[in-house]
Structure 1
Amino acid sequence: MGRDVGFGVVGCGVVAGYHINGILETPGARLAAVSDVVEGRAREFGERHRVAWTTDYHDLLKREDIDVINVCTPNGMRLPLAEEAAQAGKHLVIEKPIAISLKEADRIIATCARMGVHLMCIFQLRCGRAAMALRKAIQEGRLGRIVLADAAIKWFRPQAYYESAAWRGTWAQEGGGALMTQGIHTVDLLQWMMGPVRAVSARMATLVHRIEVEDTIVATLTYATGALGVIEATTAAHPGLPAKIEICGDRGTAALEADQITTWQVEGMERPVDMGGGSEVGKAASDSKTFGAEGHRAQITEMVEVVRGGKRPTVDGPEGRKAVELVLAIYESARTGRTVELPLK
């Protein structure tokens, strides 16, 4: 493909800005059009970026200059768009989570495979320099046998955040609360570093916000390796702390906060240089608009390479599905009061 790869963004909410910035900052990528069911938002995004805009995403699916559709619609509204886009021969970049049920995720994955189009899921925290370096250290056995692997997402969102859109805070359209929407980034990092989880036991509550879904949840984990762990997630911890992952092994301990290594005590190994200053990818403890754009830009850059035939997406459909399955298992345990084994049946 000699020309720039054309992108069309569907859904002009907060997260669309990260996708668009990633497209505009990526050599070989071109923003062709945007769409939103709310005319004012579609018009504002289109005019700001000087591209075509529409309230009907089917207009984007018909355009020959659009190779990739960026799905930035609410969590529970992604399946029809994703399937139709794949059937129209468009590659997909889907903001996390890929879907709010495994049935929907599997349909999207299967449709993309059947139509021969590529599917990328956004989990931009994997692109952080410190996160990649910590995972490499774990894989190389530098921390020894891992015994504990924990994640804490103690963030804050005001009630106004949930009231800013009718779908927020609902099981039907958001698919969950603090864990599915905010915590899933760190959940993905944890399972990416540690591998599969074998069983979970959880409790959840809605303690502060007037919403259907949880604003606070705690889960204990048993990994396939035998290691144990804890996930804590909330959007009710004022003013909001950096998300944290802590890995403890019999030869060392490391902690990651917002893509910065804050603890590194490993036998015979100095803290690697590239685990230092971190990046902007992990910062959104008190405001969803404060994420850095580096991670989205890195994934958009990879998608350009994918479309041009150079590689497959690193975070493809099956990879994006893993964090959703773990989140859903935690919810099932919290609802039933029972330990839930994975993979889910």
Structure 2
Amino acid sequence: MDANIVKLGVIGLGNIAQQHINNILQGEVENIQLTAVCSRQQPENELAGVQHFSSYQQLIDSGLVNAVLIATPTMSHYEIAQYALEKDIHVLLEKPIGLSAYEGEKLVASTQPGTQFALMLNQRTDANYVKIKQIVDSGVLGAITRTHWTMTNWFRPEIYFQASDWRATWKGEGGGALVNQCIHNIDIFQWICGVPVAINGFCEFGKYHDIEVEDEVTAYFRYANKATGVFVASTGEAPGVNRFDVIGDKGSLHFDSGKLIQKLNKQSTQTFSRNTTDMFGMPEVATTDVTVNDKVNQHAIILNNFVRAILFGEPLMTPAHAGLASLDIANGILMSSWTNQQVSLPLDRQAYQQQLERKIASSKLRIKSNIQATVDMSKSYR
């Protein structure tokens, strides 16, 4: 193989895989050649010079690829990624890393030296989330005291679930809103605000849809510094809300409807509180619109980084192990809801896995609807 080209195989040819393929074919990714694809059925439109396989093992063993992008249903992520990693094939895996953090931990542990293993945590490239992280990391807000993200803008109509046999089942996906849509938000939440030490989760299962998994969630977080957090999610609410608040002792950030507002106090809240003689006083505050309007091709950025990591040793922006924390939180919310008890982090991943396996044992894949669904992937990103 050309040492300056990554020869990529794409496993799975669903909606998100097609977007990755289009990025490659349209020249959005450098130093890469699409050499093989894999799906259970032969695609209607074959790509010139790209070989089709019906078995992921055959694709990985073909000698045509030195890297794979896995974009299959969640239930197969562990099996396919493990096989590729065992063969020293570089892996870029669609989220989540597995049905559980337990599966993800085993995958990360099986990665051999020199093999690049990345996860498609593409929202870490969103310009406003990057800005929020920079501001929080700078310390200008002071110690974080409270966080709150209401993300109910993931509305999905019934056809979204009925068009597949695996979505929104314990067996096929290991959960619903938390591990599918909101795993991105939870990843950004912990990337910026850190991992809580305790979770109280309250989930509604099949409240809005004919599904067995969660489609509405409220979770309460406690952090090591006594900060608190709330995460609210839904796939059944329209119109939805996407509002993210980070409150610190010296100021706050508020991201809502695409606008990012920074508020900085002239004095820290605690300093003002302990020194003022004004019974109804408030610190003076300066409010600034710090919205970043740059639009980026998030998926292409992650794929380009993956390629450069393979060819030139560039550090991965989203190494696979980075996906474990968000899955721990999602798993912890579910476990707390199932047991009606507070769950401590670090998560007991094996205990959660045992609970999940009991759910899987009574779960079945659905019969796919024969209704022709309209698909516009641009509407799926919120």
Asked if the contact 1:11–1:35 (Cα under 8 Å) also holds between the matched residues in 2, the reply is yes
Shift of 1:192: 0.1
The CA RMSD over aligned residues, in Å, is 2.0
Aligned twin of 1:222: 222
Q: 1:145 to 1:159 in 2, by over 3 A?
A: same
CA distance in structure 2 between the partners assigned to 1:87 and 1:151 by the alignment: 39
Aligned twin of 2:380: none
Q: 1:272 to 1:133 in 2, by over 3 A?
A: farther
Name the aligned partner's letter for residue 217 of structure 2.
I
Aligned twin of 1:286: none
Alignment of 1:88-103 (within 5 A): 88-103=87-102
Matched, 1:83 2:99: no
Aligned twin of 1:11: 12
Aligned twin of 2:136: 138
Shift of 1:66: 1.3
Asked if the contact 2:260–2:289 (Cα under 8 Å) also holds between the matched residues in 1, the reply is no
Q: 1:339 to 1:110 in 2, by over 3 A?
A: same
Is the partner of 2:133 in helix, strand or coil? helix
Aligned twin of 2:318: 315
CA distance in structure 1 between the partners assigned to 2:157 and 2:57 by the alignment: 35
CA distance in structure 2 between the partners assigned to 1:165 and 1:278 by the alignment: 34
Query: Once the two structures are aligned, what percentage of the paired residues are identical?
Result: 28
Q: 1:338 to 1:253 in 2, by over 3 A?
A: same
Shift of 1:278: 4.5
Shift of 1:49: 6.7
Asked if the contact 2:155–2:238 (Cα under 8 Å) also holds between the matched residues in 1, the reply is yes
Shift of 1:110: 1.4
CA distance in structure 2 between the partners assigned to 1:74 and 1:68 by the alignment: 19
Q: What's the CA shift string for 1:18-45, capped at 9, x where partnerless?
A: 32234331111221111112x14xx13x
CA distance in structure 2 between the partners assigned to 1:128 and 1:257 by the alignment: 14
Shift of 1:121: 0.7
* Stretches of structure 2 lacking an aligned partner (at least 5 in a row): 267-285, 349-382
Shift of 1:323: 0.6
Aligned twin of 2:279: none
Shift of 1:88: 1.5
Asked if the contact 2:178–2:330 (Cα under 8 Å) also holds between the matched residues in 1, the reply is yes
Shift of 1:234: 0.6
CA distance in structure 2 between the partners assigned to 1:192 and 1:66 by the alignment: 32
Q: 1:30 to 1:272 in 2, by over 3 A?
A: farther
Aligned twin of 2:357: none
Name the aligned partner's letter for residue 58 of structure 2.
D
Shift of 1:305: 0.9
Question: Highest Rg: 1 or 2?
Answer: 2
Shift of 1:272: 7.5
Asked if the contact 2:147–2:228 (Cα under 8 Å) also holds between the matched residues in 1, the reply is yes
CA distance in structure 2 between the partners assigned to 1:338 and 1:196 by the alignment: 19
Name the aligned partner's letter for residue 92 of structure 1.
V
Q: What's the CA shift string for 1:75-130, capped at 9, x where partnerless?
A: 12111111111112110001110011222112211111x36411101111100111
Asked if the contact 1:32–1:51 (Cα under 8 Å) also holds between the matched residues in 2, the reply is yes
Name the aligned partner's letter for residue 225 of structure 2.
T
- The TM-score with structure 1 as length reference comes to 0.88
Aligned twin of 2:277: none
Comparing 3-12 and 308-317, the one that deviates more: 308-317
Shift of 1:239: 3.8
CA distance in structure 2 between the partners assigned to 1:165 and 1:248 by the alignment: 40
- The TM-score with structure 2 as length reference comes to 0.80
Matched, 1:237 2:253: no
CA distance in structure 2 between the partners assigned to 1:271 and 1:60 by the alignment: 52
Aligned twin of 2:195: 196
Asked if the contact 1:7–1:23 (Cα under 8 Å) also holds between the matched residues in 2, the reply is no
Is the partner of 1:312 in helix, strand or coil? coil
CA distance in structure 2 between the partners assigned to 1:118 and 1:270 by the alignment: 43
Matched, 1:33 2:30: no
Aligned residues between the structures: 324
Q: 1:307 to 1:126 in 2, by over 3 A?
A: same
Aligned twin of 1:291: none
Shift of 1:261: 3.5
Alignment of 1:76-225 (within 5 A): 76-112=75-111, 114=112, 116-154=114-152, 155-205=154-204, 206-225=206-225
Asked if the contact 2:133–2:192 (Cα under 8 Å) also holds between the matched residues in 1, the reply is yes
Shift of 1:55: 1.1
